[in-house]
């Protein structure tokens, strides 16, 4: 489990924790951050989490010099940059835009909803930097995929995956075989163990 080296230092982009509900607890100091985490989980009947669990998720999205690890985890830290700009998403989504226009069978509604729920609580679900960039994310949703909906679209709207750098709203509708064919090198190492795209992970089908 990863832990912050210094709780008195504010990490890049502040303290943050993504809940299963899609809500992100944010603060500029450690105490306010953990208090917000506890309040949100209590108000939404979610099981409580420890400070160590909150820091473990936070550290997964921070440069390695911000945290320390258990002895058996040293050397296995895969840092994923979560500060994305629209050009990052454009590069990551290029292959998928072509697929959207080519026509293919999307996954069924239950599977799309399952994936969207998982993405809603993922710490790699991010918004591009700058309001102007955020407004352009929707431009990547084209073709038949653009008509598809999930029960969690409010959590995926104008958000992207920091690992594959793709808009999340269309991503959850792609069949796994097509995604694997267009997977960038090293992506699997960046995905959390609970990701529905993580081969052999707890939510991989």
Distant-in-sequence, close-in-space partners of 5: CB < 8 Å, separation ≥ 6 = 65, 66, 67, 68
Domain boundaries, the chain: 3-73, 86-190
pLDDT tens for the chain, 205 residues long, are 889 999 999 998 899 999 999 999 999 999 999 999 999 999 999 999 999 999 999 998 888 789 987 655 544 456 788 888 877 887 777 777 777 777 788 899 999 999 999 999 999 999 877 655 556 677 777 777 878 899 999 999 889 999 998 889 999 999 998 888 888 788 999 999 999 999 999 999 8
* H/E element, 17: strand 15-18
Task: Give the strand pairing for 125-126 and 67-68.
Answer: unpaired
CA angle 167, 155, 66 (to 5 degrees): 80
Q: 26 in helix, strand or coil?
A: strand
Distant-in-sequence, close-in-space partners of 30: CB < 8 Å, separation ≥ 6 = 4, 7, 8, 15
pTM confidence score? 0.83
Give the model's pLDDT for residue 135.
Answer: 60
Which two tokens mark 16?
């943050």
Q: How far is CA 194 from the centre of its chain?
A: 11
Give the model's pLDDT for residue 75.
Answer: 46
Q: Cα(20)–Cα(30) distance, rounded to whole angstroms?
A: 20
């Amino acid at each position: 489990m990863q832990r912050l080296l210094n709780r008195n230092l504010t990490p890049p982009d502040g303290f943050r924790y993504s809940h299963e509900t899609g809500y992100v607890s944010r603060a500029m100091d450690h105490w306010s951050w953990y208090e917000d985490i506890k309040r949100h989980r209590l108000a939404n009947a979610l099981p409580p989490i420890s400070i160590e669990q909150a820091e473990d998720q936070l550290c997964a999205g921070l440069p390695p010099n911000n945290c320390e690890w258990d002895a058996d985890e040293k050397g296995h830290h895969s840092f994923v940059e979560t500060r994305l700009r629209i050009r990052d998403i454009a590069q990551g989504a290029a292959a998928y835009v072509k697929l959207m226009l080519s026509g293919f069978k999307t996954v069924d509604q239950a599977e799309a909803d399952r994936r969207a729920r998982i993405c809603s609580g993922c710490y790699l679900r991010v918004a591009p930097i700058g309001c102007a960039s955020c407004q352009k994310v929707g431009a990547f949703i084209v073709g038949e995929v653009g008509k598809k909906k999930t029960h969690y679209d409010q959590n995926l709207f104008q958000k992207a995956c920091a690992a594959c750098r793709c808009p999340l709203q269309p991503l959850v509708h792609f069949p796994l075989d097509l995604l694997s064919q267009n997977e960038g090198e090293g992506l699997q190492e960046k995905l959390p163990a609970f990701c529905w795209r993580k081969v052999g992970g707890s939510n991989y089908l």
